[in-house]
């Protein structure tokens, strides 16, 4: 019994070390990643691709009179760790479809995912949720820095949060949901988190 308790204590200690290590992430000119996202007017925010607009997602669910369009916006951006942009984090914002894409800004979004530059073959991923006009951190984890790696596993809080967020608009199945959530794509020394359905539309060099 004592041995079992000792093992449990050791495991808790190891887990706590891992959590602290993630909480100490410093990146760019922002040092509060463990609390909230940088504000929209931070100079290090950049769109990932032209034309510097969110992507509009529109799908028809159901059939006939029962069918309805599901719309939302996804906005792919980078947060530069260095002014040159050679070091940067990949960010995806999710917003409801009732926002005009031309008027979109970071405060219009509801959820956000951030993938930081890798260290020792691992990548830190953080999930944020809009609360009182501030994106608050609510989950963090690590994934292997590997091309094609799923960013959000089914057991993550973000997966369930995103599923509930989508389901409030229309019924969706798991296959559709996994097609919308991002994978990690690596090209040379550059990376981006991007959904598998949109991957074929990525510019040749990003």
16, part of any domain: no
5, part of any domain: no
Angle at 191 between CA 188 and CA 193, to 5 degrees: 150
Neighbours of 4 (CB within 10 A): 8
- When pLDDT is averaged across residues 6-14 and rounded to a whole number, the result is 43
Does the pLDDT value for residue 128 go beyond 90?
yes
15, part of any domain: no
- Give the per-residue pLDDT at 155: 95
- Give the per-residue pLDDT at 36: 97
- Give the per-residue pLDDT at 174: 82
75, part of any domain: yes
168, part of any domain: yes
6, part of any domain: no
- Give the per-residue pLDDT at 6: 41
- When pLDDT is averaged across residues 177-183 and rounded to a whole number, the result is 89
- When pLDDT is averaged across residues 135-143 and rounded to a whole number, the result is 98
29: helix, strand or coil: coil
67, part of any domain: yes
Strands (E) in 53-201, as ranges, are 55-61, 68-80, 88-96, 111-115, 122-131, 134-144, 149-150, 182-187, 190-195
With a threshold of 0.75, does the pTM exceed it? Answer: yes
Q: In which domain, by residue range, is 117 found?
A: 27-201
DSSP letter at 156? S
Does the pLDDT value for residue 2 go beyond 50?
no
- Give the per-residue pLDDT at 23: 46
- When pLDDT is averaged across residues 136-147 and rounded to a whole number, the result is 97
pLDDT tens for each residue of 24-81: 567 999 999 999 999 999 999 999 998 999 998 876 655 544 555 668 999 999 999 9
- Residue with tokens 């050679």, as numbered in its chain: 86
- Give the per-residue pLDDT at 170: 66
- Give the per-residue pLDDT at 183: 95
Q: Which of 10-24, 121-135, 158-172 has the highest mean pLDDT?
A: 121-135
18, part of any domain: no
């Amino acid at each position: 019994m004592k041995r079992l308790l000792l093992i449990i204590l050791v495991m808790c200690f190891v887990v706590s070390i891992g959590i602290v290590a993630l909480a100490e992430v410093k990146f760019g000119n922002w040092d509060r990643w463990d609390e909230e996202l940088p504000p929209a007017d931070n100079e290090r925010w950049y769109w990932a691709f032209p034309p510097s607009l969110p992507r509009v997602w529109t799908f028809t669910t159901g059939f006939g009179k029962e069918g309805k369009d599901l719309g939302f916006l996804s906005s792919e951006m980078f947060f530069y760790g260095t002014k040159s942009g050679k070091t940067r984090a990949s960010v995806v914002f999710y917003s409801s479809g009732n926002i005009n894409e031309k008027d979109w800004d970071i405060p219009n979004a509801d959820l956000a995912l951030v993938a930081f530059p890798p260290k020792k073959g691992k990548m830190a991923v953080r999930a944020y949720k809009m609360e009182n006009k501030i994106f608050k951190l609510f989950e963090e984890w690590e994934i292997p820095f590997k091309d094609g790696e799923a960013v959000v596993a089914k057991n993550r809080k973000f997966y369930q949060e995103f599923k509930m967020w989508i389901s409030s608009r229309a019924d969706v199945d798991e296959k559709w949901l996994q097609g919308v959530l991002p994978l990690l794509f690596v090209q040379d020394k550059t990376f981006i988190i991007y959904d598998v359905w949109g991957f074929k539309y990525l510019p040749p060099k990003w």
